Structure formats: structure tokens, C-alpha cells
Amino acid sequence: MQSVISVQNLNHYFGEGDLRKQALFNINLEIQSGEIVIMTGPSGSGKTTLLTLMGGLRSAQEGSLKILGEEINGASKRNLMQIRRKIGYIFQAHNLLTFLTARQNVRMSLELHEHYLDQDMDQLAEEMLQTVGLGHRIDYYAHSLSGGQKQRVAIARALVSHPKIVLADEPTAALDKKSGRDVVELMQKLAKEQGCTILLVTHDNRILDIADRIVYMEDGRLANQSNTVYV
């Protein structure tokens, strides 16, 4: 099985000179196509830093980080942009544009891809919103949606372009138990249908059972990994 994310001997630092501090230490991790991997661990352990590196949102410094076979470390801005277009992002804070409707927020993701420009992007966005159970909220502005509904829009936006990888940072943190469960089960269902890989950072022990594998991080290092497949 091919690794869609391959991390080897990755180190990362913040600050300069005397203020320079190491945040990630010798990270080695392989994530295979179609896997759902949960990364957990204490606050400040480096989970989000690693996720943003994998997403091309932060520049890699030391070691090798390959996404879909492309080396991120030393990649040009153009190559990073091309890699980012193959990744769907879901954040704790939704990052929806409040002055746009649910449909417009989802459509924005399609507009980044040339091969969708000659298709009916409004219809594609609408179909994805119906898939996540928001067919009745298509023309609602983001500010008028509940937390769970906003997160569903974020999932629709992340998955509408059929990315190879979905990176999710604390997607259930602002949700109650039922909404959080609904959101991750929806991510799991759509990812399996689309054949994409999910890496999900969470503190939420209630959703660990959706993972094919759990990775634990502490003090910038990866600790023991569980290969248990939950049913």
C-alpha cells in the first residue's frame, strides 16, 4: 500500500538565536492511502505544528516530508500551492466566511481547481451540502448556522473537490457530544466513499474508535502507536 504521507527524521524549530526552541523532534510517520489516523496527546505537544507542516501551511526545516510523493521540504511556493489543492482542511474554528452562504463557502473550494471551472459549481456545492444533511440550509449565511451546522459546511467544503488527504484539527472541540459524534461519523463515511486519507488531531476521547490507528504525541515526539482497528 502506498504512503500518501511520509515523514522521516523531521525536526522543527520556532524563534531565532537565543530564543530558538525545538518544537518537533525526529518525527517518523507513514500514513497509507485510505487510512483514518487520529493524533492525540496533551496541549502544546506539537500536534497542530505537525499538521500544518503536512498541509503545506508552514515550511518544513529539517528532515523529509513527502505528501502524495512530493517533497515539501525545500518545495517552491508554486509546488506547495499545487500540493495544498489536493488536501482538504477542517479546522476547529470552521474558518467559514460569514458574509457568504453555505453554498458559496463550499463553492469557493471548487474555484481553486481548473477542472471544475467548466462545471456547474453551484450544483456540485449544493449536492455536497445535501450529502452532509444541510440541504435545507444551502442559502443560509454562516453566522446564522449552529456550531454543528458550521462544521458540516466545513466538511462539505473540505470534501467537495475529492481531495486525496483530509487534515482535521480539533473538529469536535466546540461541539456537544452528539454533534461531535455526528460530525466525525460523517467525515468517516464520506472519506471511505471517496477513498481519501484522514489525519485528525483531537483531545476528544469519545471519537477515538473511528480510527484505523491512533498516534500519540508528547513533548514534540511521537510515542507509542496503536495499530488496533476498531469496529
pLDDT averaged over every residue in the chain: 87
Q: Give the pLDDT confidence score for residue 194 in this predicted structure.
A: 81
Which pLDDT score, from 0 to 100, does residue 231 have?
35
pLDDT given for residue 51 in this prediction: 93
In the chain (231 residues long), the average pLDDT of successive 10-residue segments reads: 88 91 95 93 91 90 93 90 88 81 91 82 90 89 88 88 90 78 82 87 87 94 62 35
* Cα–Cα distance measured from residue 43 to residue 49, given in angstroms and rounded to the nearest whole number: 11
Residue 157 and residue 168 in contact, taking contact as beta carbons nearer than 8 Å: no
Q: What pLDDT is stored for residue 225 in this prediction?
A: 57
pLDDT of 13-60, one tens digit each?
Answer: 999 888 999 999 999 999 999 899 999 998 889 999 999 999 988 888
pLDDT of residue 3: 86
Residue 103 confidence (pLDDT): 94
Full DSSP string of 146-215: -HHHHHHHHHHHHHTT--SEEEEESTTTTS-HHHHHHHHHHHHHHHHHHT-EEEEE---GGGGGG-SEEE
DSSP 218: E
The C-alpha cell that represents 106 in the structure block: 463550499
Virtual torsion, Cα 145, 209, 26, 74, nearest 10 deg: -40
Q: According to the model, what pLDDT value does residue 175 have?
A: 74
Q: pLDDT, tens digit, for every residue of 42-54?
A: 888 999 999 999 9
The CA-atom distances, in angstroms, between 130 and each of 76, 122, 135, 174 are: 37, 12, 4, 23
The pLDDT value given to residue 167: 93
